[in-house]
Chain A
Amino acid sequence: MNNSTQPNNFISDEKKLRQKRRERADSRFHWYGLTALGLALAFLVFFFVDIIGQAVPAFYQTEVKVNIHYVEAAKTNYNKAVDHKLRRVVSRAWLRTLPVYLKRHPELIGNNIKQWVPADSRVDQYIKQHNGHGLKSKYQRIVDAMAEEGRIRQVFNIRFFTSGDSKLPENAGIFSAAVGSIFTLLITMLIAVPIGVMTAIYLEEFSEDNHFTRIIEVNINNLAAIPSILYGLLGLAIFINFAGVPRSSALAGGLTLALMTLPIIIIATRAALQSVPSSIREAAFGLGASRWQTTWHHVLPLAMPGILTGSIIGLAQAMGETAPLLIVGMVAYVPDAPDNILEAATVLPAQIYTWAGESLRAYEERTAAAILVLLTVLLSLNGLAVYLRKHFERRW
């Protein structure tokens, strides 16, 4: 301000220099942060764009319009129902359903109907112009000709959501894996949440701080950091070999995942309980509330948002887990959705893992689509956690 050179305690060359250095360090730090954030965002965007780009074709299935010969011979040999040259064009999975269909509808025999039927996965991939579609050039010419005649269309792939796994990709879907996931997660939830919350309440509100509880505490914290595949071994040893729970069943998987989720829920619940001010406990005790009343009426409602969030995050983690399920036999080919928790089942991440190893090109997009479904569910669960926290916090 004053342009003189008289000494000023606040402005000297040395101090200016230091100030500049400080400001440079500040802005450097600022940029490091922004770069890290930008990189993380870029990865995330790349991941989502890639997954969605790959997954979208899986929601469409090519259909072809062909003559279906409803003849007596098709009851035993479904190949007789289509012209020889079209056998590789029409989905074998669809053709296989013909004999049963004919037996149910004998009146159709003798008819020759031009109708839309699902195309073979190689035709489907060829139409979608994917590299590695695997369609021989002989059939490519046939399909090209059909396309010109308008006998090829793409429809919504409802089978992806209604059918289970299949060795014929056009018939493969996530239904059985989704049912398996729901069963497994329900068991995990019913076991891990109550036991975890009660354990945390006991440790936080009831137990005395002695050697024994401290050992338990250290162990729980360590358990949360154990590689998840080891829980699979534990589950195998306890539930399958010792308790005789059927292998590959949702029960075995759910119990195993419950073991894995327990420490996470216990730690989250304890943190939530610790965050309740002790003045609330004193107030309740001072009014003559018992320990249980204090916990149940005052502490627990205040800790609820934290407990819910922790439980949901823990369950979401369990839902995305594959490694421990590998050991209890849930990463398997399961074409039919389980009817109960004792039947063989698989889960969504395991289905993704299985499909990722398949060689046919059509599985690639299905893998991506299944990932997208799993991600959607997990993001919804996390969204639910956020919503519940907000909702409960509003009730003072």
Chain B
Amino acid sequence: MNTSKVNIKDLKLWYGESEALHGIDIEFSEKRVTALIGPSGCGKSTLLRCLNRMNDRIPGCRIEGQILLDGDDIYAPEVDVVQLRTHVGMVFQKPNPFPKSIYENVAYAPRIHGLAGSGSDMDELVETALRRASIWKEVKDKLHTPGTALSGGQQQRLCIARTIAVQPNVILMDEPCSALDPIATAKIEELIDELKREFTIIMVTHSMQQAARISDQTAFFYMGDLIEFGETGTIFTQPEKQQTEDYITGRFG
């Protein structure tokens, strides 16, 4: 019923000598939220960072296998990483707005990719992005004040606005709420629920409740292996594997 957006085939990854992912096979469906859960060091963030090739920057990092985005291998030699990252956006654990104005934060990526000029086109694009990240009302009167002066939750929504300004297909979120208080977290979760109408969202989270609340599908990783993957409802109520159940119920991890 769901079309596959990202298809990972037998993905292995090494940091130098140590193998961090041992052959992962997984498919992420379009316009759904997939949560990646598992104890620290299980490879879920590593996997996430393979999807927009952020791992390329890490010396000694090497991968095998295939990652297909809409059927195209993103690790094929002719792929331009810059282009790939406009299709696969990323939101980080700690809100990291640029120390520039709110406007500049959102306008930066469209500008370097030539999506809009600097006139009213850009104004419109910035407004749309901020609206879609449900932060427009809070910042519309102070677009030219520093993005770093906002509260943590607002900063994270600004980062989301910045990411969706280039119209990616997939948004990767690496524990987007772990640095936020419950109220700010609730707002981000609400936002994710909105965003999945347009974007395929893959998020890493340490909060079982969060995974249960907002994801459609959940993948449980342990020690570099994908243990179980399925509909969130099923994973949280009738997991197939004992390990998954132990982790979800808090018996380990």
Contacts and interface: CB of A to CB of B under 8 A. Distances in A.
Interface of A: 208-209, 277, 279-280, 282-290, 293, 297-298, 302, 396
A290 B84 CA distance: 12
B148 interface: yes
B92 A283 contact: yes
B109 A285 contact: no
B113 interface: yes
Interface in B85-137: 85-86, 89-90, 92, 94, 96-100, 108-109, 112-113
Given A208-B59, A297-B108, A396-B146, A287 B166 contact: yes
Contacts of B146: 396
Given A288-B85, A288-B86, 16 more contacts: A280-B96, A282-B92, A283-B98, A283-B162, A285-B54, A286-B90, A287-B85, A287-B86, A287-B162, A288-B82, A288-B83, A289-B109, A298-B98, A302-B99, A396-B99, A396-B146
A99 to B, nearest CB: 68
Given A302-B99, A396-B100, A285 B94 contact: no
A288 B59 contact: no
Nearest to A290: B82
B215 interface: no
Nearest to A279: B96
Main secondary structure of the interface of A (DSSP, over half): helix
Contact of B52 (A286, A290, A293): A286
Interface bin, chain B: 20 to 34
B248 interface: no
Given A209-B59, A279-B94, A280-B96, A287 B148 contact: no
Interface in B38-58: 52, 54, 57
B92 A279 contact: yes
B232 interface: no
A277 B82 CA distance: 21
Given A297-B108, A396-B146, A396-B148, A286 B85 contact: yes
Contacts of A288: 81-86, 109, 112-113, 166
B159 interface: yes
A289 B98 CA distance: 13
Contacts of B159: 283
A273 to B, nearest CB: 15
B253 to A, nearest CB: 26
B244 interface: no
Nearest to B82: A288
Among B83, B89, B99, B149, find the residue whose CB has the most chain A CB atoms closer than 10 A: B99
Given A287-B85, A287-B89, A396-B146, A280 B98 contact: yes
B83 to A, nearest CB: 7
A282 B89 contact: no
A255 B218 CA distance: 64
A280 to B, nearest CB: 6
B64 to A, nearest CB: 21
A302 B100 CA distance: 10
Contacts of A284: 98
A302 B99 CA distance: 8
Interface string B60-77: 000000000000000000
Contacts of B98: 280, 283-284, 298
- Kindly list the 6 A-B residue pairs having the minimum CB-CB distance in the complex, ordered from nearest: A288-B85, A279-B96, A286-B90, A287-B109, A396-B99, A396-B146
A297 B86 CA distance: 18
Nearest to B92: A282
B163 interface: yes
Given A287-B163, A396-B146, A282 B54 contact: yes
Given A209-B59, A298-B98, A396-B100, A286 B54 contact: yes
A303 to B, nearest CB: 12
Contacts of B148: 396
B244 to A, nearest CB: 30
14 contacts: A279-B92, A280-B96, A280-B98, A282-B54, A282-B96, A283-B97, A283-B162, A285-B57, A286-B54, A286-B90, A287-B163, A289-B112, A293-B112, A396-B146
Among B81, B108, B146, find the residue whose CB has the most chain A CB atoms closer than 10 A: B108
A209 B159 CA distance: 30
A290 B56 CA distance: 13
Contacts of B83: 288
Contacts of A280: 96, 98-99
B99 to A, nearest CB: 4
A396 B105 CA distance: 13
A279 to B, nearest CB: 4
Interface string B143-154: 000101100000
Contacts of A279: 92, 94, 96
A352 to B, nearest CB: 44
B96 A283 contact: yes
